[in-house]
Chains A and B, each alone.
Chain A
């Protein structure tokens, strides 16, 4: 144990030497995307597969090296504003990206423990999925497009997590959205799939609008803070009013380093008269009159809108189930493991801002809880195996939002990582099932795969147990760390009921998770083969597909280590590995939360009992599903469910009519307004009056002026001569006067 720790903490190279090369991590997959995208058709299938996979593998190796490098206690980088050093991190600024007036954006990359974990997940799981895709897409004509998009996605996701400012993060944020759109609509000759891509893109735009407005508000707020702040504000951060202003000018107001110093300074001494705090009114600028805390609440709620779009939370989750139109490995990588966790990452990254607003924290927690429950309920009655997994993803993302919102950032990241492993495994397993059964996705038309697809079945079972939360798989530790942690969260302003309520809802959602996952597994894998199956016998997939399954299944067991209390905390007590590991990243948030007394975490104890209840809930859910689907109504095709159940099933099967509700409430009115605009504004005003009217006037004037043109050269010359004489006369008269 000690020697292992020594090995990890003593990399043979310095982080500062590696930092200037960080851009290679992004450049490799980007290069792969360029080569496959431009020359892929000529290079041939095998070459494209090799290039795309090698690019991601190269990124993975570089990520491993950077991860190792930042484990050294000597690995430091400095905050761009104050110059103080940040331990266990490295970063490099490659120069100014753009600047306008006193607004600057630098092109800088930053790797700390949070980014390091995500780098490994993105490139590691990404590589496995590239490997899997080589077989899964082996018959597809558009292979070069597919791998180009996939590589582009990886590059953009890496930009998102390595960005050291919100602007660069937004580049990745939009980039992954675009790659997701391209891959959902990959089979674009199927109109339904093309529409699914558009739905995802447009729903995300709604969220991006919130993200952008939040960024603009932050720029204005930081500028106002520069004017209002007093020297006392900066006492703790070791800089001065002018030093901060110079730092903002150098680094830009949206760099994470700047925002952290802003948060530290704003919370420096909330009770002192000499310093301004969250309850001070902004003195100048367009936001004058609002309090800093109020503006930050608005900023965070707008970020929540953006995160809800990207991470498929209420009310913008509707795109994710439709996103299953894309190839299954894409669903595994983008719509389960990485892209959809961007919202969770955002709140973890902005932990120091989040603690300013208990209202925003409570809202995020409740949105997460609501999403977790609603999606889990809808998953009950879905028959498409990918749809079950999609709603399950929405539900699990809800769990992460609960944790991130309640300030349990390390738990959110922990669940993000374990979920990436077991959900990627589940999706790839579903892909393997489809591959071996003639693309059948209806779990009622499968059945009996246990003997025919042993590797897929075993890995799917392990991942199902992990997501269900059975001891001792990783999902148990991460999910129960969330539920247990929520009980101990106290929010200021009498909002503690929100996390406590979320804990209860989460418990019930966990029960539902166990139910629908067991149902999917039982219907698809056990029992007899359904008579409606497309193929009489399924065939097991090849090694390029089963190897990633085995690795991911193994990881979803092994990842439990991160939740074990084997590290020594500051007070000497044992604490979970991830808590210890991520402490440097979340220190600012924790410290500011303590100073403002906005959020506190206590261990409510009774961990053993809580774990036992959680385990019991999971087992009960699974057992209920097993009982219902094996004994009471084995509702395969041809053996219909009892009439009593049909009504409920239909209601949930139709996804609570949310799509229909959105259609009536938003899409129909928008269509009506669009129709009006088309008829009145476009057809009448622009087409008739402006476009045709201009042409009409020109034509009339032209035919009137036609009569002036006699065609006689001498007539023109006479006119010219007369004009010259008049001009000369005028000039002479002017001169003589």
Chain B
């Protein structure tokens, strides 16, 4: 059986990659994918602990996260499409209407 810390390291790596994508990439679509990556890293952590404890609590949480991620993807992609139609660009540093 694979020890738990392998899973946790993998999850941490995925989380950091997602976060870096979120913070550094300029394309809104990629930023969005970063968010998804972070959610899945959290899922992996939940499932790892669920397996370690042998209970189903972690599975339930993961299912919830998947549902939320699906809803978020639906709305987030719709917003991204709407922004692209409106502005003709998805570069985040050009989308700064709040400032002037």
Contact = CB atoms under 8 A, between A and B. Distances in A.
A709 B22 contact: no
Interface string B14-44: 0000010011100000010000000000000
Interface in A701-737: 709-714, 717-718, 721
B22 A717 contact: yes
A712 B23 contact: no
A721 B92 contact: no
A713 B95 CA distance: 9
B96 A714 contact: no
Contact of B98 (A711, A714, A717, A721): A711
Contacts of A717: 22-23
Contacts of B100: 711
Nearest to B25: A714
Contacts of A713: 92, 95
A721 B24 CA distance: 12
B92 to A, nearest CB: 6
Interface in A660-716: 709-714
Interface string A223-254: 00000000000000000000000000000000
A713 B23 CA distance: 9
Contacts of B99: 709-712
Contacts of B31: 714
Secondary structure at the A interface, as helix, strand, loop or mixed, is helix
A721 B96 contact: no
Interface in A588-624: none
Contact of A721 (B19, B93, B95): B19
Contact of B93 (A709, A712, A718): A712
A713 B99 CA distance: 11
B92 A712 contact: yes
A736 to B, nearest CB: 18
Contact of A711 (B19, B22, B96): B96
A145 B98 CA distance: 58
Contacts of B97: 711
A717 B96 CA distance: 14
Contact of A712 (B19, B22, B24, B96): B96
B19 A714 contact: no
Nearest to B28: A713
Contacts of B92: 712-714
Contact of B23 (A709, A711, A714): A714
Interface of B: 19, 22-24, 31, 92-93, 95-100
24 contacts: A709-B98, A709-B99, A710-B96, A710-B99, A711-B98, A711-B99, A711-B100, A712-B92, A712-B93, A712-B96, A712-B99, A713-B92, A713-B95, A714-B22, A714-B23, A714-B24, A714-B31, A714-B92, A714-B93, A717-B22, A717-B23, A718-B23, A721-B19, A721-B23
Given A711-B98, A712-B92, A714-B23, 20 more contacts: A709-B98, A709-B99, A710-B96, A710-B99, A711-B96, A711-B97, A711-B99, A712-B93, A712-B96, A712-B99, A713-B92, A713-B95, A714-B22, A714-B31, A714-B92, A714-B93, A717-B22, A717-B23, A721-B19, A721-B23
Closest A-B pairs by Cβ, 5 of them: A711-B99, A711-B96, A711-B98, A718-B23, A714-B23
